[in-house]
Amino acid sequence: MSTVQPTPPEGVDTILILDFGSQYAQLIARRIREAGVFSMLVAPDRPAAELAAMRPKGIVLSGGPSSVTDREAPRCDPAIFDLGVPILGICYGMQIGCQILGGTVEAAEAREFGRTALRIEDGGDLLAGLPDRTSVWMSHGDQVSGLQTGFEVLASSETCPHAAVRHLGKRFYGVQFHPEVTHTPHGGDLLRNFLYGICRCDASWRMSDFLEAACERVRAQVGDGRVICGLSGGVDSSVVAALLQRAIGRQLTCIFVDNGLLRTSERELVERTFRDHFEADLRVVDASAAFLGDLAGITDPQEKRRRIGHRFIDVFKEAAEGVGGAAFLAQGTLYPDVIESGHGHAGTAAGIKLHHNVGGLPEELGFELVEPLRDLFKDEVRALGEVLGLPSAVVWRHPFPGPGLAVRVLGEVTSERLEVLRQCDEILLEEIVANSLYRSTDQTFAVLLPVRAVGVMGDGRTYDSVVAIRAVETQDFMTADWARIPYDVLATVSNRIINEVRGVNRVVYDISSKPPATIEWE
């Protein structure tokens, strides 16, 4: 498995984020990139010399769940304050910075959680352009209680006299609130002040530039070797395939496994996009009968996933062995996967998440991994897909589980039940798209429940299936809220499903948030 550390792209201004464990650390990175500057998370204890070698234009110290007064609390190398690089500390990051520079941090008399009124006392550099009174999002139990010579107070709240500070001698800025969250209305302005007014960054992070650099890196890695890409039709694998086709052309072979658990016309969309439009070497393996055979009589969700995963590896392995001379396997590892794996910062996860369609294969087949998207967030992958010319139906496709419809057909998976679900799902998505709701929801799908309900159709009673509709809104898929689909749209979906899909007489809408519910039902 690859353990290559993420590195800043050459010729691009970079902000390093020392991640002290904040739930918002990835959000900080995304906000900075959205402003046009490349950013990456690193371990908080990386030596100052290593950070300097990465030539950052600035450093951000993230928040975190620890108290700086604890002996085991994570700390950074004090030498970073002597690098001459501007540093912005957020919440815990402010506290650790002030403490290292001689300040005092204590438990606050009144903890602040939620929106707080902020009074700006110095509207220069960091807070330039912000109104004198604004609201910010606070989440802290400790706060800076005393400052040494060299510090200046920039803003305060009713219970936090040092809500924003500056140390000119060390080019350190600290804010007790979170500018990266949407609950801080002018947080984006503050971050841009730091990036452009203080760090003097150029807005040089563009997808078109990244594409050319990524193609060059792929060519340098694979040389004249052959690369296999496990293509699922999802956003990540599709963007990887399109990028590799552009970079190495006929050295790429894409393998698409039809497991019989796909949505309506998914296989046709993949073939039309990659074989017809991109003229890729696409090999489609129809293994639907084998997958459905493995699932016969199985109702346990984990057993479904296990059998599907094992069968996929067998099918993909056989298909890959038919590609002569292949030494590389491409997969859609994204930056959040790298972060969660612990490669590149102090994460605790065991290893990089493999794309659901190629999991376990690098070790089994001895391939070297090609991961051209490992520096990107999901929204950046979509932007790259648009630059590559992928159809919007692929670029903006909602996430689809690796086991496919098998985990949306609750209970036993049969070809008959799959067909019922496909029809329901197709109607749902047609109406969501027709009402311009597809991009405002982040995942929308139908679930066939393992229960039957009494109904009345015409003059007779029915005893048919129940279908649940699930639609959620989320930023990171770690938490999610159910989408408030307009009643008239839900009414149309329900009416169409019951009237057009034989065997369904009841439709329900899932209004559970995550947590406690998960997004998928299985």
Q: Which residues are catalytic?
A: 91, 178, 180
H-helix or E-strand spanning residue 473: strand 460-473
Q: Within 10 A of 249 (CB to CB), how many other CB atoms are there? A: 12
User: And the tokens for 229?
Assistant: 């890409």
C-alpha 164: how far from chain center: 30
**Calpha distance 238→470 (Å, rounded):** 25
Q: Name the one residue in this structure whose structure tokens are 């006392």.
A: 121
**HSE-up of 277 (CA within 13 Å, CB side)?**
14
- The residues near 499 (Cβ < 8 Å, ≥ 6 apart) are none
Q: What is the CA radius of gyration of the chain?
A: 26
**Calpha distance 380→209 (Å, rounded):** 13
User: What is the 3 state secondary structure string of 286-328?
Assistant: ECHHHHHHHHCCCCCHHHHHHHHHHHHHHHHHHHHHCCCCEEE
Asked if residue 417 lies in contact with residue 409, where contact means CB atoms within 8 angstroms, the answer is yes
**Calpha distance 428→14 (Å, rounded):** 43
User: What is the 3 state secondary structure string of 355-389?
Assistant: CCCCCCHHHHHCCEEECCCCCCCHHHHHHHHHHHC
H-helix or E-strand spanning residue 247: helix 235-248
- The residues near 145 (Cβ < 8 Å, ≥ 6 apart) are 104, 105, 106, 162
Residue 258, helix vs strand vs coil: strand
Residue 461 identity: R
State the DSSP code for 220: H
Q: Name the one residue in this structure whose structure tokens are 């190495």.
A: 248
Asked if residue 326 lies in contact with residue 227, where contact means CB atoms within 8 angstroms, the answer is yes
User: And the tokens for 209?
Assistant: 């530039």
Residue 320 identity: A
User: What is the 3 state secondary structure string of 27-50?
Assistant: HHHHHHHHCCCEEEEECCCCCHHH
For residue 323, CA distances in Å to 210, 220, 229, 486 come to 29, 21, 11, 50
Asked if residue 24 lies in contact with residue 372, where contact means CB atoms within 8 angstroms, the answer is no
